[in-house]
Amino acid sequence: MSFNPELCRNESEVESKLIVQYLLPQLGYTPDTWHQEVVVGSIRLDFLAFGKRSHLRVVMEAKHPKQNLNHHILRLRHYLTILNAEYGLLTNGKEIRIYQKFGQDINLVFQCYGKEVDIKIHEIKTLIGRDNLREINRDANQLPKISPLLQQEFQVSDCIYLKKRQHSMKIIAVYHNKGGVGKTTTVVNLAAAIRKKGKRVLVIDLDSQANTTFATGLVKFDDEEFDDIKDSNVLHVLQSEEFYPISEVARKSNFCTPEIEVIPAHIDLMENETDLNALDYSRLILIDKLGEVKDKYDVVLIDTPPSLNFYARIALIATDYLIIPSDLKPFANQGLNNVKKFIKTINGFRKQIKKPPIEILGVLACKISTNNQFVRHTLPRRIEKIPQRYGLKVMDTVIYERDDLAKCAENFQIIGSIEVADPISILDFKSDSTSSQEFELLAKEVLEKIGMC
Contact 159, 152 (CB under 8 A): no
- Whether residue 54 is predicted with pLDDT greater than 70 in this model: the reply is no
Question: What average pLDDT score do residues 158-181 get?
Answer: 72
> Which candidate, 410, 404, 399, places its Cα nearest to that of 438?
399
- Whether residue 383 is predicted with pLDDT greater than 50 in this model: the reply is yes
Going by pLDDT thresholds of 50, 70 and 90, the confidence category of residue 230 is confident
pLDDT of residue 136: 41
Least confident segment among 66-80, 222-236, 343-357, 363-377: 222-236
Going by pLDDT thresholds of 50, 70 and 90, the confidence category of residue 396 is very high
pLDDT of residue 173: 98
CA angle 390, 393, 398 (to 5 degrees): 115
> Which candidate, 195, 76, 199, 49, places its Cα nearest to that of 131?
49
Could you tell me the CA-to-CA distances from 235 to 253, 305, 314 in Å, in that order? 19, 14, 12
305: left (phi over 0), alpha (psi -120 to 50) or beta: beta
Going by pLDDT thresholds of 50, 70 and 90, the confidence category of residue 155 is very low
How many helices and strands, by DSSP H and E, does the chain display? 18, 18
- Whether residue 204 is predicted with pLDDT greater than 60 in this model: the reply is yes
pLDDT of residue 415: 63
Going by pLDDT thresholds of 50, 70 and 90, the confidence category of residue 419 is low
Q: Kindly report, residue by residue over 273-309, the tens digit of the pLDDT.
A: 888 888 767 789 999 999 999 989 999 999 999 999 9
Percent of the chain exceeding pLDDT 70 equals 87
Whole-angstrom distance, CA of residue 428 vs CA of residue 442: 16
DSSP lists the bridge partners of residue 213 as none
Contact 184, 331 (CB under 8 A): no
Contact 298, 258 (CB under 8 A): no
pLDDT of residue 36: 85
E strand residue ranges, 225-312: 251-253, 260-263, 299-303
Could you tell me the CA-to-CA distances from 225 to 228, 230, 270 in Å, in that order? 9, 10, 19
Whole-angstrom distance, CA of residue 366 vs CA of residue 324: 9
Going by pLDDT thresholds of 50, 70 and 90, the confidence category of residue 221 is low
> Considering just the CA atoms, what is the radius of gyration of the chain in Å?
24
Please give the distance of CA 411 from its chain centroid, rounded to a whole number: 22
- Whether residue 321 is predicted with pLDDT greater than 60 in this model: the reply is yes
- Whether residue 324 is predicted with pLDDT greater than 70 in this model: the reply is yes
- Whether residue 439 is predicted with pLDDT greater than 90 in this model: the reply is yes
Going by pLDDT thresholds of 50, 70 and 90, the confidence category of residue 404 is very high
Fold classification of 5-164 (topology level): tt1808, chain A (3.90.1570)
pLDDT of residue 420: 67
- Whether residue 152 is predicted with pLDDT greater than 60 in this model: the reply is no
pLDDT of residue 53: 61
Please give the distance of CA 75 from its chain centroid, rounded to a whole number: 29
pLDDT of residue 411: 76
* Domain 170-449: CATH superfamily, name plus number: P-loop containing nucleotide triphosphate hydrolases (3.40.50.300)
Whole-angstrom distance, CA of residue 288 vs CA of residue 300: 14
- Whether residue 141 is predicted with pLDDT greater than 60 in this model: the reply is no
SS3 assignment for 231-242: CCCHHHHHHCCC
In 3-state terms, what secondary structure has residue 91?
A: strand
Least confident segment among 135-139, 242-246, 397-401: 135-139
Least confident segment among 71-80, 183-192, 222-231: 222-231
pLDDT of residue 223: 62
The residue ranges of every structural domain in the chain are 5-164, 170-449
Question: What average pLDDT score do residues 241-264 get?
Answer: 93
Going 163 to 34 to 247 to 356, the CA torsion angle's sign is positive
Q: Kindly report, residue by residue over 82-134, the tens digit of the pLDDT.
A: 888 889 999 999 999 999 998 888 999 999 999 999 999 999 999 999 887 54
Going by pLDDT thresholds of 50, 70 and 90, the confidence category of residue 220 is low
DSSP lists the bridge partners of residue 106 as 101
pLDDT of residue 327: 95
Whole-angstrom distance, CA of residue 211 vs CA of residue 208: 8
- Whether residue 226 is predicted with pLDDT greater than 70 in this model: the reply is no
Contact 56, 34 (CB under 8 A): no
319, burial (CB in 10 Å: exposed 0-12, middle 13-18, buried 19+): buried
Contact 215, 324 (CB under 8 A): no
pTM for the whole structure: 0.67
Question: CA dihedral in degrees (124, 114, 411, 185; nearest 10)?
Answer: 100
Report the mean per-residue pLDDT for the chain. 86
